[in-house]
Structure 1
Amino acid sequence: MRRSIAVRLSLSALLVTGTLVGTGASTATAGGEESAAQPLSAGLLSALQRDLGLSPDEARTRLAQEADAAGTEPAAREAAGDAYGGSWFDPARGTLVVAVTDTGRADDVRATGAEPRLVTHTDAELDATATALDRLDAPASVASWRVDPRANSVVVTLVTGAERDAATEDFLAAARAAGPVTVSATTTRAPETFAAGTVGGDPWYTGNVRCSIGFSVHGGFVTAGHCGRAGQQAYGWDRSLIGQIQGSSWPGNDYAFVSVGNGWWTVPVVLGWGTVPDVLVRGSAEAPVGASVCRSGSTTRWHCGTVLGKNETVNYSSGEVVYQLTRTSVCAEPGDSGGSYISGDQAQGVTSGGWGNCASGGQTWHQPVNEILGAYGLTLHTA
C-alpha cells in the first residue's frame, strides 16, 4: 500500500532540517550570519559546498531558507485546503512553492509566506494515480514512477536503451488511463538496492551485538554461534535486514548459519581491509599446524599469524566450554567474533575467542569451517 506523503518538500530540505534539529544548530540570517551560541555544523556546510557548488555564505543562506520552508509548509498546506497540489523548495528563489488548483486559495497561501502556483490536479488526484500504478505489473524497462508536484503529474522513468516492447506499451497505456501520467524521464540503468554481498570480515548485527561474517555459503553465511540464537534477525553493516539465524550451536560448539535475502547475496570473498587485496575463497583445505593463517574481522580488520594447535578444548572465563577448536597466534578483539580465518585462498574457520589484543598481542581460537559445513549440510561459496 502506498505510504501517505504529508509533506512534499525537496528531499534535501527535509534532510537538512532534520540535521539541524539533531545537532541543535540554529538557522542563519538571510545574510548568512549564524548564531554564535549554536554554530552550524562545519561538516554539513562543507558537504553543501562540495556537492551543491555553494560558497560558505550561500550554504548558510540555503540552510536558513530550507528551514523556513519546512516551517512554513504545514500552514501553507492548510491554507490551500482541498485545492492543495503539492509543494517544493525553489532554491533559485529561496522559498516554498505551493501548488493550488483554485485561484481563490492563492492569497491565503501567499499570506503564509509561500509562493502559490496554479495547477490542474490536486495532490490527492496524483496520489490516487500513483496508487493505481502500484497495482500494475511493471516490465524491466520501467525503472520507477513518482508523484512530481512540479510537473503536476505522475512521472514514469524508463531505462535508457531498454526495448519499448508490448509489455512496456501496455503498462504505459494502463498508467495513462489511471490519471495524469508523464513519461519524460530516463535513467541509464535500472535501480538496484544498496545492500551488498556477504563478505568475510564485514560486520553484522543482531540486537545490540556486533559480530563479523565468516564465509559465504550457498544460501547465507557462517559465523560464530555465541553471536545469536536461531530465529533472531540478522542485519548488515548498513543496518539493513540480511536474513535470519537459521541454526546456532553454543556452547560445546561455536558456530551459526545465517540465511541471506532482502537484496543481499553471497560473495566468495574475504576482506583485506586495504592491508592486502580482498581474497577470493577457492576451497576449505585445512592448513597444518605451523602454517600461516590470517584473520579478517570488523574490529581489528586484517591480522596474520600461525596455526599453533588443533582439536583443543577451550574453557572460557564466562564458564562455557567449547571443543575441537584450532588455536592460532593471530590477535583479535571484541566484535571480531565470527570473522574469517583463511590460509592462502583456503577457508579455515570462524573466530571463537581468545586472549590479549592487537596492541600487545595474544592468541585466538577458531571453529573449523568444514565442521560447520557438515553440521548444517552447507556448501562453501567459492570462486
Structure 2
Amino acid sequence: MTFDPDTEPSQDDAVLEDHLAPSGLSSPPSAILVEVDGEAAAFARERGISYAEAQQRLGWQALAGDLDEQVGAALGDQFGGVWIDAARRDRIMVGVAGKLGTDTVAAVQEVARKIGLTEGYDILQVRRSMAELDRANDWLGAQIEKVNDGAAATLTAGLRTDLGAVELQVPADGPLTDAQRELVAAAQKQLGDMVVVGRYAGRATARACVYPYCDAPLRGGIKITNSGTGCTGAFIAKSKVDDVLYQFTAGHCAYENYDDWSTRFTDSSSHVVGPVWHWEWNGGGDMSILRIKNPAGWDAEPWVYVTSGPDTTTNTTYKITSDKKSVLGMRICTTGAYYGRSDCGYVTQLGVTATYGGVTVHHLGRGSFCGTGGDSGAPMYASHVAYGLQVAGYSECDSLYQGIRAAESVLNVNVLHAK
C-alpha cells in the first residue's frame, strides 16, 4: 500500500462529512487572535489568506495541545487523536473512536469551552483509537530498532492521526537488508490498513556543529561549543525540586562531551555556560541539560534569539510563555545556530522511530522546517509556546525534534516561562 501525501485524504472523507459535530460554527468570532513577531503575517503569505484569518487560525493552534491532552483524558479509549487539517482552513480535528453519541460530543465541547476554544474545531468519528495506533506504532518502532541496527539505510515510522494509521517509510535511495524487507511485509500483513507505506529522501543525520551569539542574558537559539563540537542551546529550564537553572540542548550533543560547554558574547569573548548535568540519547529520547555555572552573571531569561528568515523577523528577546504538546499539522518554527536564519514548517508525523548516528530513538516529532549540522538542540516554538528540541533530519527541510514535555519529564525540569 503506497501513501501519496498529495492525494491521500485526511481520515475517511465519507466518515468526516457524515459525522461532523457542531463546534461553535455559528459562534461569534473567536477572541483568540495571535500576532507574534511577524508569525501571523508570514502564515498569511503561506496560506494566501488575510492577516486577520491568519491570526485566528494561529490562535486555534495555540490551544490544540491543551485540547489533545484534556480530551484524551476525558474520552479514554474512545479518543481518536487531535490534528490540524490544512485543507479545512487549518481547523482542529478531534477524532472519536466508536459511537459518536451526544454525551461524547458534549464531553469534547466542555473541554474546549474550559480552555477557551469557542470555534475552529470539529468532532468526527474515526475508525481507530489513539490507544490502538500507539500500540501498533510501539510494536513497529521496536521492530525497526532491531532491523536498523548496523544497516546502511534505515526504516522510519510514525503516527499519522489524520489517516488513522501508522506511516512506515523506506529510504528512496538505499538498498534494504533482508530483515528490513521482511519487516515491511510483516507490518503490512499484521497491521493491514492500519499501516501506510511510503518513501523518504536522504538519511537521518544528527545536527551537531558559527553563527548567532548574544551577550547576557543567556537565552535559546545561540551557538554552544565543546571540544570542537557545535550545537544550539535551547530553552532555559528550572529544576522541579529547587531553583537551579539549566539550558536544554540535544542529548547526542552531550554524548562524550560532558564537561563545560561555552558560547560567545558579541565581542567574540568566550564564556562558559556549564557542564552536562543529564543526557539521554537512546530509545527513550534525545535530550540533555547543561547546568548554568554562573547564574548571577548569565541572568538567564525565558527568551529565544529569533533570527530573521522568510517566516520570521529578528527578535532577540522572543518570550516563551508556556510549553505544550505538538499536534499533527500545526505550524512550528525553529532557530538553529548554524542554519543562519529561523525557519518554520508543519508537523508531519508524531511518535516517530528513527535511527541516526547508530542509535534508534522513539517518539520523536517530524516536520517540514529546515535545519542543518550544528542546529541540534535548537528550540522548537510557535506563538510563544515551547514545543521541542531539533535533533536530526533526513534532508534539509525534513527534520526531527524531541518533544519538550517528554524532555521535561525525563530530565526533571520545567521550561522557564516569562511572566
TM interval, shorter chain, is 0.3 to 0.5
Q: TM-score, normalised by structure 1?
A: 0.46
Higher relative contact order (CA 8 A, sep 6+): 2
